[in-house]
């Protein structure tokens, strides 16, 4: 299993995120795990910090955005023959212990892709403004891809070997989250959702997309997919 973390200027938290992730993975039995950090041309100390953590580091010479980083990580997992790939954010929003829930449907042969949904855990953990953006994103994803999901923008996902081989990402930025559902439909990949806990902090909210930027991404997605 490869755990892929896109990272851009995360020097304040990436060390702690990796420490918690390694502690959890070390406790998993009979599952060989590797951590892959895609350093998306960070201009701070992110690259230096992750290299000291002894994880696999893939570095971009120029900033390619979230979509580009995820594409790099999944292509690496494909080349290395990973049986499962998990993607999670590098800003500390995700709880590593939820990985166990994410991969269970794949290990049991019940799904090829698993999405970690914040809404299945209850809306109270999500700020009201994020709920609105999420609702709009889910609607746009369904409109263009015909796939219903409760959390189209979740960065916490798990992919089977077949999904890793079939998914070919094109978008470079934040709209990649919705693009995944287009790939799920195109390749007829069975998917399911599991509830996850999200950890909102002032830092993660600052690092995450602003409400205005989220609306711009939705418009960009609509224009791109409407061609």
Note down pLDDT in tens along the chain; length 227 residues: 999 999 999 999 999 999 999 999 998 877 889 999 999 999 999 999 999 999 999 999 999 999 999 999 999 999 999 999 999 999 999 999 999 999 999 999 999 999 999 988 776 777 777 788 888 889 988 988 889 999 999 999 999 999 999 999 988 888 899 899 999 999 999 999 999 998 876 666 566 555 455 566 666 666 655 55
pLDDT of residue 145: 87
Q: Which residue has the tokens 């994020």?
A: 130
Shortest CA distance to 86 belongs to which of 68, 67, 106? 106
pLDDT of residue 144: 85
Query: Residue 168 phi/psi, 5° resolution?
Result: -125, 105
| Strands, sheet with 157-160, edge to edge from the N-terminal-most edge strand | 56-59, 34-39, 2-7, 84-87, 157-160, 113-117, 191-195
pLDDT of residue 214: 58
| Gap between the Cα atoms of 95 and 201, Å rounded | 13
Total domains in the chain come to 1
Q: Are the CB atoms for 93 and 155 separated by under 8 Å?
A: yes
Tell me the pTM.
Answer: 0.90
Cα distance between the two ends of the chain: 36
Q: Are the CB atoms for 218 and 137 separated by under 8 Å?
A: yes
pLDDT of residue 186: 95
Per DSSP, helices labelled H in the chain are 14-26, 46-52, 65-79, 99-107, 128-145, 161-166, 176-186, 202-207, 211-225
pLDDT of residue 215: 61
Query: Residue 81 phi/psi, 5° resolution?
Result: 75, 35
Residue 181, class by beta-carbon neighbours within 10 Å (0-12 exposed, 13-18 middle, 19+ buried)? buried
Structure tokens that stand for 192 in this block: 């399911």
| Gap between the Cα atoms of 111 and 137, Å rounded | 23
Beta bridge partners of 98: none
Q: Are the CB atoms for 192 and 105 separated by under 8 Å?
A: yes
Q: Domain range holding 174? A: 2-225
The domain that holds 164 is classified in CATH as 3.90.550.10
């Amino acid at each position: 299993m490869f755990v892929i973390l896109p990272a851009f200027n995360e020097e304040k938290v990436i060390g702690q995120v990796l420490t918690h992730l390694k502690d959890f993975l070390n406790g998993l039995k009979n599952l060989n795990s590797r951590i892959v950090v895609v350093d998306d041309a960070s201009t701070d100390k992110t690259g230096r910090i992750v290299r000291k953590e002894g994880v696999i580091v893939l570095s971009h010479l120029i900033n390619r955005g979230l979509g580009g980083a995820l594409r790099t990580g999944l292509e690496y997992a494909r080349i290395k023959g990973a049986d499962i790939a998990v993607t999670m954010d590098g800003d500390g929003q995700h709880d590593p212990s939820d990985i166990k829930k994410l991969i269970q449907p794949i290990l049991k042969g019940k799904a090829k892709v698993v999405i970690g949904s914040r809404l299945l855990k209850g809306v109270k953990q999500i700020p009201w403004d994020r709920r609105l953006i999420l609702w709009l994103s889910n609607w746009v994803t369904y409109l263009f891809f015909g796939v219903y999901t409760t959390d189209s923008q979740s960065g916490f996902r798990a992919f089977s070997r077949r999904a890793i081989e079939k998914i070919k990402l094109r978008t470079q930025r934040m709209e990649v989250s919705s693009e995944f559902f287009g790939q799920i439909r195109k390749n007829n990949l069975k998917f399911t959702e599991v509830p996850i806990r999200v950890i909102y902090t002032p830092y993660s909210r600052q690092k995450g997309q602003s409400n205005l930027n989220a609306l711009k991404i939705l418009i960009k997605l609509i224009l791109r997919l409407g061609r």
